[in-house]
Homo-oligomer: A and B are copies of this chain.
Amino acid sequence: MLGSSSLQFSVTHRDGRARCGILRVPHGDVETPAFLPVGTQGSVKAMTPRDLVETGTAMILANTYHLALRPGADIVRDAGGLHAFMGWGKPILTDSGGFQVFSLATLGKVDEEGVTFRSHIDGDLILLTPERSVAVQNDLGADIIMAFDECPPATSQRSVLERAVERTARWAERSAAAHSREDQALFGIVQGGTHEDLRRRSTEQITALEFPGYAIGGVAVGESPEEMRRVVALVAPLLPEDRPRYVMGVGNPEDIADMVSCGADLFDCVIPTRHARNASLFTRRGLLKMRNLSLARDFSPVEDDCPCHACRHFSRAYLRHLYSRGEMLAGILGTIHNLAFYQRLMAAARQAIRDGRYGKFREEWGGYPREAAQEEGPAPEDPLGAEA
């Protein structure tokens, strides 16, 4: 398949089904399992690229849907591609826009050709097809791009999910046929909701197309965390051993620790960045609510042993003050910390796999406190809430 040679993936260590390895793409190497922060509109919110590198981030995700609407793929292409446009020289993955079309836009007609929807920005009527999604992603120029899929809510009727599986397979083929850049690797996406037979069928159909990597889509779309993990535990081992496996839109630290144990390699999620803007900071003991009065005189860092810029230079009391006053610096420092927390989690997971103690690591992260990653109260720095 076109672009297959632009990606090299080698598993270096295994511990049960968990594995760690190196993903090599044109803009650099990524140690796996890896977490990709979300840069919805060509910016990981509140982060300069150099801040992002400092958190340990090796690869990010950007959203095709958002970038296609604004500023438009042609502008990004003329800027020299997304890497040049956003000043991020390391690897990028773009999604296909499928998820956003079904979740953010006012949905029009969905038929075999593609999806007609109204832009959430200006109400323009737009047709997105597999060909169009891939053309836009070719313009954006990410290292890894995704096939266009139909992504219904997990709570949809079986008939809807079944239709989505079949259509996703046909669209995957059309996506592959439309792909025109040798330097981008196109991944296929497995759908099927929480139905075991549909997931198996989708996995067979998509893997038959011989993509250089595979994603488990249709997760974190309304099902319970237990169902979500069950789906990943089912699908991941069915995917080819020698290709990277990407779980889309996940998740909480416990979810990630669990899915790594199933053999998943890549994750993206808005949780660390969105939580940071909502004053929820990650610590090993759970989420710290930064507007809490109890922190007003707490002059210790968010986490004592955290090497991030926020923890090395600022106290909980200062961060609480910044959050309480709606200062932008709160979102900046909070995002630095939360992403550093996630990247340290991934580094620790990799080390645990190398050391052959992943089972214990998985247990340690079990029951990590969960909180919906949604806007809560004023988030002045994020008026659009348009991440993901």
Contacts and interface: CB of A to CB of B under 8 A. Distances in A.
A300 B324 CA distance: 38
A239 interface: no
Interface residues of A, number: 46
Interface in A258-308: 296-297, 299
Which one of A46, A50, A318, A382 has the greatest number of beta carbons of chain B within 10 Å? Answer: A318
A321 to B, nearest CB: 4
Interface in A81-101: 85-87
A318 B79 contact: yes
B328 A46 contact: yes
B332 A328 contact: yes
A41 B325 contact: yes
Q: How many copies does the complex hold?
A: 2
A314 B88 CA distance: 10
Interface stretch (A70-78, A208-216, A247-255): A70-78
Contacts of A321: 41-42, 70-71, 75, 85
A45 B296 contact: no
A315 B384 contact: no
Given A299-B79, A317-B79, A329-B48, A381 B384 contact: no
B317 A75 contact: yes
A360 interface: no
A2 interface: no
Nearest to A333: B48
9 contacts: A42-B321, A49-B313, A70-B324, A71-B320, A86-B318, A328-B328, A328-B332, A380-B383, A381-B381
Pairs of residues from A and B, 6 with the lowest C-beta to C-beta distance, nearest first:
A380-B383, A87-B313, A71-B321, A46-B328, A43-B329, A43-B327
Given A328-B328, A378-B383, 16 more contacts: A47-B329, A48-B333, A71-B296, A71-B321, A75-B317, A75-B321, A78-B299, A79-B315, A85-B317, A85-B321, A86-B314, A86-B318, A326-B384, A328-B331, A380-B380, A380-B381
